Amino acid sequence: MFSKILIANRGEVAVRVIRACKEMGIQTVAVYSKADKSALHVEMADESYCIGGPMVKDSYLNMDVILTVAKKTGAEAIHPGYGMLSENPEFAKECSDNGIVLIGPSEDIMRKMGQKEVAREIAKSADVPVTPGSDILAGGDDAIRNAEIIGYPVILKARAGGGGKGIRVVRNESELIPAFEQVKKEAESSFADDAIFMEKYLENVKHVEVQIIADTKGKVLILGDRDCSVQRKNQKLIEECPAPLLAEDLRSRMYEAAKRLVKAVGYVTVGTVEFLVKGDKFYFMEMNTRLQVEHSVTEMVCGIDIVEWQIRTAAGVELPFEQEEISRKKHAIECRICAENAKDFTPATGMVELLHVPGGVDVRFDSALYQSYEVTPFYDSMLGKLIVCSDTRDGAIRKMKSALSEFVLLGVDNNRDMHMKFMENGRFVIGNYDTGICQKVL
């Protein structure tokens, strides 16, 4: 097992990883930008080092500086969290070349699954259903030809996309070329890779993902599934585990498909296979080769510390439990608390004047917030995740309503009230919702 880990991230996920390391007796090294000098992860870590200016390109994306700190401090491994460098194959290669373990899959697997058009081909070869789609589009004319073959509506996707960026839905030919140019520009700006491809756009679908973990001996376990259909502009807002109103036969088929895909690429450690569900059919969307924001809801149900076992499997530890030992008897819901204006959802900033976090049995708030903390404009607007768990879905909804009513955050505009709308929405309450629910509730 590692004795010291550097956390190449910030905010809530950095705090989450540090907590897991502390429980495992592992020393931690934090890195931070000048804007984060008073951040909670800086105070919690055993060692902390400033690595650059407020912009992520000058700090949290600066591979050379991060690796220099890791070598200077004797860190044997780097945990990238999510976002930032977590799915960057070049960073994985640099870590390997410097004798440092990146807590995640290998560079080769990260590269294959990170290029969405390559991942589609791997999925097809593993007999995992995919939607009709194209190869990388050579230009506007190529996009027009493929759209005619696939049929409108279509969705344009950046090969290296994520976090709701580099995606546009196109409903007719007149929209195609402007959308094509927009996605290319956004992809180049966000991911330094302007390659895009096209898929058939499925409307009124459920977005369901399967959480997997695998060890170096080829053992692959399913820790559960999550419904992530509550989204605004392709950004997830609410997740629940397990997905409601999902037939057990369909769930089993999705689990087996996820296992086939993971085994096909020889995947090791934690990952998530994402699917679109329409009726009794499902289609592979992408694989996230990292820890996900919403891992917490799965932890609450299965009772396994996903971050701990992500670290252990990266260190070569074999999984000691079997599939039948993993619990699916509870239900958990997560609401992402974001700093945003309630009217137009634009990101908000400010000083935390008052913070009250709800408590009680199976109530959890994963966050890096504290009183007098300043929310700056430089980073993602998510402030934390409010998670509850109960024996039933109805119980989880009631518990979430109670927790939201108790949650107080003054000084920074946030979306607490928006989440309460969902908890009281009839369609959400019965579980019969899809990716279009935000248009009906907000």
pLDDT in tens, 60-96: 999 999 999 999 999 999 999 998 999 999 999 999 9
Sign of CA dihedral 297, 380, 233, 181: negative
Q: What is the mean pLDDT of residues 37-45?
A: 97
Q: Say whether pLDDT at 236 is over 70.
A: yes
Burial grade of 362 (CB within 10 A; 0-12, 13-18, 19 or more): middle
Residue % of the chain over a pLDDT of 90: 89
278, 148: one domain:
no
pLDDT in tens, 125-162: 999 999 988 989 999 999 999 999 999 999 999 987 76
Q: Say whether pLDDT at 164 is over 80.
A: no
175 found inside a domain: yes
pLDDT at 117: 83
Q: What is the mean pLDDT of residues 352-374?
A: 97
Cis peptide before 347 (omega within 30 of 0): no
402 found inside a domain: yes
77, 162: one domain:
no
220, 190: one domain:
no
pTM, entire model: 0.92
Residues marked active site are found at 290
* Among 280, 264, 104, 276, residue whose Cα is nearest residue 203: 276
Q: State the CATH number of the domain containing residue 164.
A: 3.30.1490.20
pLDDT in tens, 245-258: 999 999 999 999 99
Q: Say whether pLDDT at 388 is over 80.
A: yes
113 found inside a domain: no
125 found inside a domain: no
Q: State the CATH number of the domain containing residue 20.
A: 3.40.50.20
246, 395: one domain:
yes
87 found inside a domain: yes
Q: What is the mean pLDDT of residues 436-440?
A: 89
First to last CA, the chain: 47
Report the SS3 class of residue 226: strand
272, 150: one domain:
no
309, 393: one domain:
yes
Q: Are strands 27-33 and 47-52 parallel, antiparallel or unpaired?
A: parallel
Q: What DSSP state is assigned to residue 130?
A: B
271, 214: one domain:
yes
117 found inside a domain: no
115 found inside a domain: no
Q: What is the mean pLDDT of residues 111-115?
A: 89
Q: Which residue would you say has higher pLDDT here, 159 or 424?
A: 424
Question: In which band, very low, low, confident or very high, does the pLDDT at 187 lie, cut at 50, 70 and 90?
Answer: confident
pLDDT in tens, 267-290: 999 999 999 999 999 999 999 999
| Domain count within the chain | 3
Q: What DSSP state is assigned to residue 192?
A: S
221, 353: one domain:
yes
Q: What is the mean pLDDT of residues 16-28?
A: 98
Q: Identify the domain boundary among 144, 176, 200.
A: 200
148 found inside a domain: yes
190, 334: one domain:
no
Segments forming the whole domain that contains residue 176? 132-200
pLDDT at 343: 84
Q: Identify the domain boundary among 155, 181, 200.
A: 200
Q: Identify the domain boundary among 142, 169, 200.
A: 200
140, 281: one domain:
no
CA atoms within 13 A on the CB side of 96: 12
Report the SS3 class of residue 371: coil
Strand positions, DSSP E, 350-432: 350-351, 354-356, 363-367, 374-375, 382-390, 408-410
Q: In whole angstroms, what is the distance from residue 54 CA to residue 237 CA?
A: 26
Q: In whole angstroms, what is the distance from residue 200 CA to residue 180 CA?
A: 15
Q: Are strands 220-232 and 235-241 parallel, antiparallel or unpaired?
A: antiparallel
Residue keyed to tokens 């060890």:
215
152, 136: one domain:
yes
Q: What is the mean pLDDT of residues 293-300?
A: 97
Q: State the CATH number of the domain containing residue 371.
A: 3.30.470.20
* DSSP one-letter string for 322-355: -GGGS----EEEEEEEEBB-TTT--B--EE--EE
408, 353: one domain:
yes
Question: In which band, very low, low, confident or very high, does the pLDDT at 442 lie, cut at 50, 70 and 90?
Answer: confident
Question: In which band, very low, low, confident or very high, does the pLDDT at 163 lie, cut at 50, 70 and 90?
Answer: low
